Amino acid sequence: MIKAIKEYEKEQHLKALKTTPIIDWTSKEVGGFMELIGFPQYKLVFLHNDINGGLLLSLDVGTLKSELGITSYGHRIAILDSINSLIKSQYQYQHLDKESKTGVTLTSHTENTHSDANDNVTNIHNSTTNSKDINNKKEYPWYIDYKELQMGEIIGKGFYGEVRKGVWNGIDVAIKIIYRDIHKSNASDDLSIFYKELSILSKLRHPNIILFCGACIEAEHKCLVFEYLNGGSLHSLIHSNPMILAKNSALRYKITTDVVRAMNYLHSMNILHRDLTTKNLLMTENFKVKVIDFGLSKQILFDSNKTNAPTKSKSKSKSKSKQDQYINDNKNRVFGNKIYLAPEILLKGNTHYSAASDVFSFGMILYELYTSKEPHFHIGNPSKYAHMVAHQNYRPPITCHSSDESKASVIPSFIQDLISKCWQSNPSNRPTFKEISDELSMIEENKTFHLVLNTNSSNKVVQDHIDSTPESESGYT
């Protein structure tokens, strides 16, 4: 009788959990779920590590072991199976209860769940193609009806789809569209990237992060809508209009601080970018830099103020040195542009991403910004360059001389030092973005670098840059 009562209470508790999307669970609800599925011994582990619903959906077999100390493979599989089972139940529950639900369900892309954390992300699936059923801006304030968009010319294109300039509610926007033949396949990695980017973007609010206006999630019209930035990419500024930076050294520093602020914010939100390049930094007409392209980004558990790697689990698992504590995606492949990637990524594929990997990429961006040369310039072949970075500890020469040999390096010494710190081989020796931000603040306070921008000339060179930037170099890819 007692057993039957307990089973009934368990069923009622699970039924109650179905009404709340996993992504909205608190750490207390996650702990309660562990107890309900037969693993009460891990309840405190999840509570102590503050694993909420969003982080729960990002865990895989590897991270359950490395981050939470759950050594039993069978237990890890059972936990993930229980999560996926509840996800399906939530979908069915909300689909059948259309009178009180919007028809949009938060769930997880479950293909290869046990082997790939990239696939184990929060997705948003529509249960109907009828836009009226999902147009609920109270529950989904980012939702945009496709009919509200006016499509313009193509300004970017990639394998996943294309980016168009458009108009929404009377303002210029950039519309990132998934190709139709791709988003009809549930197994598509590109569709998974779309949902993951949507999940991350909906959380972000920062002046140096591109403004996310909303998304269309109808079956035939999946797209992300952003503010339109007409300043082009940092890559375009550096390589198409090098004289602008050459005549305004303070502008280089302003760009540096913009990127640091953006990345410090992302890491404070436990988000790794994982594809930080000069092409993924767009600018406004006033040279304000904004980070874009979160398709490869990932939310993980780490302390951005103390270490460049995920935090240690508070369970009784064997402790690790911080350079060993990485997010483990369990696939021997590389994401991102290889000329900006850290050696641990080039050596071990997608198994060693950490906050320090973003810092390394930032170091390469600084090099490119202050030398006007891409990191592989002195080697030529990008693949050969990447091999040398990974296996020979090669780094491009930082000192950059002008044509007049009597003039010293055009790169400020503190920037040279910062570049060297950022691309250290050992990830643990690289500074965090919080530390970089603090260091730059001290430099400003000590007036070791003058931040004087001539507004009139600045506006002129910006306009010259905008006028000379073709749509193909708009930076949207």
- Residues paired with residue 149 on neighbouring β-strands, in sequence order: 168
CATH code, 146-227: 3.30.200.20
Residues of the chain with CATH 1.10.510.10: 234-473
Question: What are 354-382's pLDDT values in tens digits?
Answer: 899 999 999 999 999 999 999 999 998 88
- Other C-beta atoms lying within 10 Å of the C-beta of residue 285: 14
Tokens of 320: 């690790």
Within 8 A by CB and 6+ apart from 5, the residues are: none
pLDDT of residue 384: 92
Positions in the chain whose pLDDT score sits under 50 = 91-134, 182-188, 309-332, 401-409, 448, 451-459, 462, 466
- Residues paired with residue 298 on neighbouring β-strands, in sequence order: 272
Q: Are 240 and 192 in contact (CB under 8 A)?
A: no
Classified by CATH at the fold level, domain 234-473 comes out as: Transferase(Phosphotransferase); domain 1 (1.10.510)
Q: Number of helices (H) and strands (E), helices first, in the chain?
A: 18, 11
Residues of the chain with CATH 1.10.150.50: 2-127
- The torsion angles phi and psi of 342, rounded to 5 degrees, stand at -70, 155
Question: What are 205-263's pLDDT values in tens digits?
Answer: 999 999 999 999 877 788 999 999 999 999 999 999 888 888 888 899 999 999 999 99
Which residue intervals of 279-432 are DSSP H helices? 343-348, 355-371, 382-391, 413-422
- The torsion angles phi and psi of 157, rounded to 5 degrees, stand at -150, 145
- Other C-beta atoms lying within 10 Å of the C-beta of residue 95: 14
Residues of the chain with CATH 3.30.200.20: 146-227
pLDDT of residue 277: 94
CATH 1.10.150.50 fits 2-127, yes or no: yes
pLDDT of residue 334: 57
pLDDT of residue 133: 45
Total-model pTM: 0.66
DSSP string, 444-471: HHTTSS-----HHHHHHHHHHHHHT--G
* Catalytic residue numbers, as ranges: 275
Torsion 293-289-326-313 (CA) sign: negative
